[in-house]
């Protein structure tokens, strides 16, 4: 038997390989950063007082600040809504009529 040589041409698309490697690296970096952020944001701090989560704590403090900053407006709007709802009830209309009759005599 003799040795035969068969010419084989291998086409390597270096640009495509580089793009695939870059995409793979980008995906891994994004996944790593996402996991780090999740650990920081959702880390449960267990203490004597219970379990605290940084995201939960952040949201609660923001809500408390927003309520404190707008306390007067919130009370005013709530009072208006309550007065509007109460004025539509039969019991309040009857009582207002009774008071009006007492005053007007």
Tokens 């690296």 sit at which residue?
25
- What is the average pLDDT across 76-102? 88
- What is the average pLDDT across 12-25? 86
Residues 20-72 have pLDDT tens digits of 889 999 999 999 999 888 877 777 666 666 666 777 778 889 999 999 999 99
Confidence of residue 6 (pLDDT cuts 50, 70, 90): confident
Give me the pLDDT at residue 13, please: 79
Tokens coding 91: 């019991």
**pTM of the full structure:** 0.41
Q: Spell out the domain ranges in the chain.
A: 71-105
CA gap 72, 80 in Å, rounded: 12
CA gap 105, 62 in Å, rounded: 54
Confidence of residue 73 (pLDDT cuts 50, 70, 90): very high
Helical pair 90-104 and 71-87, crossing angle rounded to 10 deg: 80
Give me the pLDDT at residue 57, please: 79
- 81, 88 Cβ separation under 8 angstroms: no
């Amino acid at each position: 038997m003799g040795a035969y040589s068969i010419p084989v041409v291998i086409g390597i698309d270096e640009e495509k390989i580089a793009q695939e490697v870059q995409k793979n690296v980008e995906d891994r970096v994004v996944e790593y950063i996402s996991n780090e952020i999740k650990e920081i944001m959702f880390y449960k701090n267990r203490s004597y007082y219970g379990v605290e989560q940084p995201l939960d704590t952040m949201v609660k403090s923001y809500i408390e600040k927003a309520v404190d900053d707008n306390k007067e407006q919130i009370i005013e709007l709530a009072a208006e809504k309550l007065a509007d709802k109460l004025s539509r009830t039969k019991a309040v209309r009857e009582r207002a009529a009774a008071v009006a009759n007492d005053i007007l005599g």
